[in-house]
Every structure is written in C-alpha cells, then in structure tokens.
A and B are shown apart, each in its own frame.
Chain A
Amino acid sequence: SQQGEEDPQALSIQEGENATMNCSYKTSINNLQWYRQNSGRGLVHLILIRSNEREKHSGRLRVTLDTSKKSSSLLITASRAADTASYFCATAVSGSARQLTFGSGTQLTVLP
C-alpha cells in the first residue's frame, strides 16, 4: 500500500518558475526522502530529511517537513527543462522496517 500521497499529481510550469510538490503520509517516520525518475531511467535520490529536522537545502532544492501534519514539501527553484520528471516522496517508517514506502508521485513538466 502507498504510505505517501503526492500533490498535485501533475504540474506544468514555465522554465525559470518555481515548482512546489507536497507529500502527505500516514504513520510516524524515521526520515523522508525525495526521489526523481526521468522517463526511461532509474530512480535518483535527491534529498533526505530526518524526522527531527524541519528544513533542508541542496542546490536548487528545498525540502520542509512538518511531522505534526505528517507532510513534506519539495521546492525546486528556477526550474529547467531538464527537471521534467516524476518526483516521489518515500518514507522510512519508524521501527524496524528497512524498506522505503513510496507515494504515487508528481509528474512535473517544465516547458522551455
């Protein structure tokens, strides 16, 4: 079953604009991760934020985590056509589980 749900399911923006994607989850987590999947390629890890962190930056990426609302957001600033991809949040549930539980993804299209 899907633990996380991304919102929106699809997003289309112009190059140079910012893109914001949201993720909600259901159970307590150890950490939350964002992955990108380009068409025909594998999943690439973007950023990991732990449950005791509220915000994290990596280049043009900014991730926030609100454990009280069980939600996270991914902001991509100054988007480029190459950012066109599906973006997934994945949670590591608290406890002994090692696997990641993925949401259904947001399809981002950046128009040149």
Chain B
Amino acid sequence: GAGVSQSPRYKVTKRGQDVALRCDPISGHVSLYWYRQALGQGPEFLTYFNYEAQQDKSGLPNDRFSAERPEGSISTLTIQRTEQRDSAMYRCASSPLAGGLVGETQYFGPGTRLLVL
C-alpha cells in the first residue's frame, strides 16, 4: 500500500501558537515513531507508540511537546506555545512489528517542515 504520509508538509506559525502535526503510518504497522531533524543533522528520537500505547517519550524536549495515537493508527504530535527553537523537520516513521525485534527497519514519511517566526 501507500507509504507513510504526513501533513501538513510545511507549516509556518507565529511564536506562541500551538501546532498539530499529523502522521498516517503504513496500514497495519504497529509501531510509530516521531523524530525531529535539524538542518544538517540526523533525525533525533522524540517518542514512539506500539498500537495506541506510548511506550517511550524520553526524547520529547519539554512538556510543550505531546503526542497521541488514540486508535492505534494515525498519530498527532502537538507543540504548544511554539518557540523559534522548535523550527525543524518533524519526521514520522512506522514499522510492522511490536515488541520482539529491537531496532527493526523503519519506514519514514516525507516530514513536516515547521518554521516558527
């Protein structure tokens, strides 16, 4: 089927506004990951889900960042009271298996480029 999709592809917002970034994983994939990528750097882990359960949120930088995946499929990453330092590419990835294999292949979406003015 289709790959991982993310929306919007680009988001420009003013400092202090809240933003919600959406990820639609590959159909049937159990695990979903959020990463943040600064320009010229590799992605950095934010959080991940198995089904609807958030298994690890140790990468979320502060409490302005939250994520949910209420029905075990689509996920939303929300950033409240955005700051200029939040500007980055936000990438979502999914993988088919839960538990078991550590570090299995992840399938990445095209990302949402966030610019906070």
A binds B: yes
Chain A count of residues within 8 A CB distance of the other chain:
30
| Main SS class of interface, B | loop
Whether the Cβ atoms of A42 and B48 lie closer than 8 Å is: no
Distance in angstroms between the alpha carbons of A97 and B31 in the assembled complex? 13
Give the size category of B's interface with A: 20 to 34
**Count of chain A to chain B residue pairs whose CB atoms are closer than 8 Å in the complex:** 73
Distance in angstroms between the alpha carbons of A96 and B48 in the assembled complex? 13
- Which of chain B's residues have a CB closer than 8 A to the CB of A30? 102-103
Distance in angstroms between the alpha carbons of A101 and B44 in the assembled complex? 7
- Please name the residue on chain A nearest to B108 by beta carbon: A43
Distance in angstroms between the alpha carbons of A41 and B3 in the assembled complex? 13
Contact of B42 among A48, A98, A99, A105 (CB under 8 A): A105
Distance in angstroms between the alpha carbons of A41 and B102 in the assembled complex? 26
Nearest 7 interchain pairs by C-beta: A92-B103, A102-B42, A99-B45, A43-B108, A30-B102, A42-B110, A42-B108
